[in-house]
Homo-oligomer: A and B are copies of this chain.
């Protein structure tokens, strides 16, 4: 059965939101994020990380409560978030990947998470990966036609061409576009939904869409 993989990172609490997994979903808790799940009674399917951000007692609690526990060296090549995404992407039963707590900590970490979708090994995440925090929802799209449903309480809608983008059409928004092409990565910010859905399409490139309730 298609399931959702919830990846819970460990960024500071200010922008933190936590998953409400359904039966059958997996929760991949990353370092401090795994312990934050445990302390909220969210069952951790897989705990991963170098666990330098938890106490020995917290680590012991995780080791005994998580279904699976993977400890990695902090000098590894992959970031914790990459290790977690690799686990989610390689699980054939996962149809939807949600990442929590990627903001409010280090800015370079935030960019590094945003940039994961450029990696060929994570190509399968495009179209089914979403980044959530309290005030933003970020989704990533391959070429084609897509429909996006408005997140309530998020006023702004931004289309970020992460690569050159060809024939971008936007419908159902305040500032529509008709087959516009951009020869370099271009952030088109501050658009807005006119209805509760918008439709968009493009023929080549990689697009991120941000729904933002930030002030």
- A194 adjacent to chain B (CB < 8 Å): no
19 CB < 8 A contacts A-B: A79-B189, A106-B156, A106-B215, A107-B214, A108-B189, A108-B190, A108-B210, A108-B212, A108-B214, A109-B189, A111-B114, A111-B160, A111-B187, A112-B158, A112-B187, A112-B189, A115-B185, A118-B184, A118-B186
- B residues within 8 A CB of A109? 189, 214
The prevalent SS among residues of A at the interface is: mixed
When the two chains form their complex, are residues A118 and B156 in contact, meaning their CB atoms are under 8 A apart? no
Asked whether any CB of chain B lies closer than 8 Å to the CB of A120, the reply is yes
A106-B215, A212-B106 are contacts. A120–B190 as well, Cβ < 8 Å? Answer: no
A119 at the interface (CB under 8 A from B): yes
Cα distance A162–B115 when bound, in Å? 9
CB atoms of A107 and B111 under 8 A apart: no
- Identity of the chain B residue whose Cβ is nearest the Cβ of A133 in the assembled complex: B107
Do residues B108 and A160 form an inter-chain contact, with CB atoms below 8 A? yes
Given A106-B212, A108-B136, 20 extra CB contacts under 8 A: A79-B189, A79-B190, A106-B156, A106-B214, A106-B215, A107-B136, A107-B210, A107-B212, A108-B156, A108-B158, A108-B160, A108-B214, A109-B214, A111-B158, A111-B160, A111-B210, A112-B187, A115-B160, A118-B185, A162-B185
Q: Which of B186, B212, B214 contacts A119 (CB 8 A)?
A: B186
Alpha-carbon gap, A63 to B189, bound state (A) = 28
